[in-house]
């Protein structure tokens, strides 16, 4: 599945989008809670409930609620793992991997160094088990590689939070955006190395394309266009090697972004038409009604997010900007379009920054809530 939807939305999200994500995640939690009541012996239900709680913790703004959701997530995932150490979530993710991700996230949130170390140790143990179970799954190996710099990244994150104290909202936004860029640039470099090591690995190429897209959402026009074109080349190579629907979806997103940021109207129209074709193709391929509806919701969120990014570019360029205003025309409801036009980086709560730092580190391996709706 795609590993970038929630992270990208969080980087550009409006209050309305965050509220919508929270509402849907709460509904999912209620659904899995009912499933557990109906069948207390279902490890899958506990795993799915715990996974959703983890992603709820990542999006939630309020610090104490965030900690509580994460605590519950670890409890549910640990319960699932104790019932069946090979169980998976409803969407096919190993509960062991989800538990490792939750512990790793807790490592970043925890202020006490000794407790944080315990969380990190637990995360490493779970990721190592995942590698033993599925040696061919590159996501598991990537997470272990990420943990090698975990202490450095956690220290940098907390130092950065300290530097934010006393700064104005605008100063905080600039500071956090720069830190996000540093984190994602590191992810892109790691993914490039993975591709260099295995140039014919379709998964590596897809992960590289997704991380490039995430990074492009923090760049100005010229650098963003260059990076998006590189990402498009990478995802096309992935599709040539393994023509799966998730990679086609990523290609559609990349072309959608290019369609509104390139200055040439003919090229813009070409990208827009090809993007729509790819989106429609994936929707037709998906026969499950619930997953198809989740895809449509994901597309709406991406529409609004890409529009918010373009609005930010135009704001930075000022009246002398090279391109005329454009709007994403791929089915964004008026409410979402309005939210996108006024959207800014969601950085009001310092704890939200930790989410993005952890997200940047997890992006190579974690499968976020919205993107998991497309996995099977």
Rounded mean pLDDT, 76-105:
92
pLDDT in tens, 140-154: 887 888 888 888 888
pLDDT in tens, 229-239: 999 999 999 99
Confidence of residue 264 (pLDDT cuts 50, 70, 90): very high
Q: Give the whole-number percent of the chain exceeding pLDDT 70.
A: 80
Q: Which of 91-95, 115-119, 222-226 has the weakest average pLDDT?
A: 91-95
Higher pLDDT, 327 or 91: 91
Query: What pLDDT does residue 240 have?
Result: 95
> Which three-class secondary structure string do you get for the chain?
CCCCHHHHHHHHCCHHHHHHHHHHHHHHHHHHHHHHHHCCCCHHHHHHHHHHHHHHHHHCCCHHHHHHHHHHHHHHHHHHHHHCCCCECCCCCEHHHHHHHHHHHHHHHCCCHHHHHHHHHHHHHHHHHHHHHCCCCHHHHHHHHHHCCHHHHHHHHHHHHHHHCCCCHHHHHHHHHHHHHHHHHHHHHHHHHHHHHCCCCHHHHHHHHHHHHHHHCCCCHHHHHHHHHHHHHHHHHHHHHCCCHHHHHHHHHHHHHHHHHCCCHHHHHHHHHHHHHHHHHHHHHCCCHHHHHHHHHHHHHHHHHHHHHHHHHHHHHHHHCCCCCCCCCCCCCHHHHHHHHCCCCCCCCHHHHHHHHHHHHHCCCCCCHHHHCCCC
């Amino acid at each position: 599945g795609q590993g970038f939807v929630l992270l990208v939305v969080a980087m550009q999200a409006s209050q309305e989008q965050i509220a919508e994500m929270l509402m849907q995640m709460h509904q999912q939690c209620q659904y899995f809670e009912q499933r557990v009541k109906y069948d207390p012996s279902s490890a899958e239900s506990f795993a799915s409930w715990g996974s959703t709680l983890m992603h709820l913790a990542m999006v939630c703004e309020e610090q104490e609620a965030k900690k509580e959701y994460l605590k519950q997530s670890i409890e549910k995932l640990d319960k699932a793992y104790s019932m069946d150490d090979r169980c998976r979530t409803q969407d096919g993710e190993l509960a062991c991997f989800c538990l490792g991700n939750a512990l790793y996230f807790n490592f970043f949130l925890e202020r006490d160094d000794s407790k944080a170390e315990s969380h990190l140790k637990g995360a490493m143990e779970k990721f190592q088990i995942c590698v033993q179970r599925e040696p061919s799954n590159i996501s598991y190996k990537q997470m272990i590689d990420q943990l090698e710099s975990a202490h450095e990244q956690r220290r940098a994150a907390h130092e950065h939070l300290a530097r934010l104290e006393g700064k104005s909202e605008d100063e905080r936004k600039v500071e956090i955006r720069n830190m996000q860029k540093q984190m994602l640039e590191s992810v892109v470099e790691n993914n490039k190395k993975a591709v260099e090591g295995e140039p014919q690995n379709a998964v590596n190429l897809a992960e590289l394309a997704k991380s490039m897209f995430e990074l492009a959402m923090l760049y100005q026009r010229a650098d963003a266009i260059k990076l998006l074109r590189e990402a498009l080349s990478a995802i096309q190579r992935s599709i040539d090697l393994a023509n799966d629907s998730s990679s086609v979806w990523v290609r559609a997103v990349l072309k959608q972004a290019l369609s509104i940021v390139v200055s040439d109207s003919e090229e813009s129209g070409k990208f827009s038409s090809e993007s729509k074709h790819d989106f429609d193709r994936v929707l037709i391929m998906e026969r499950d009604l619930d997953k198809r509806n989740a895809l449509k919701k994901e597309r709406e969120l991406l529409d609004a997010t890409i529009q918010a990014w373009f609005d930010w570019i135009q704001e930075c360029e000022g009246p002398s900007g090279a391109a005329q205003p454009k709007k994403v025309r791929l089915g964004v409801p008026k409410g979402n379009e309005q939210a996108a036009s006024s959207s800014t980086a969601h950085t009001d709560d310092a704890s939200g920054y930790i989410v993005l730092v952890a997200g940047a580190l997890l992006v190579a391996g974690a499968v976020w809530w919205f993107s998991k709706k497309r996995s099977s």
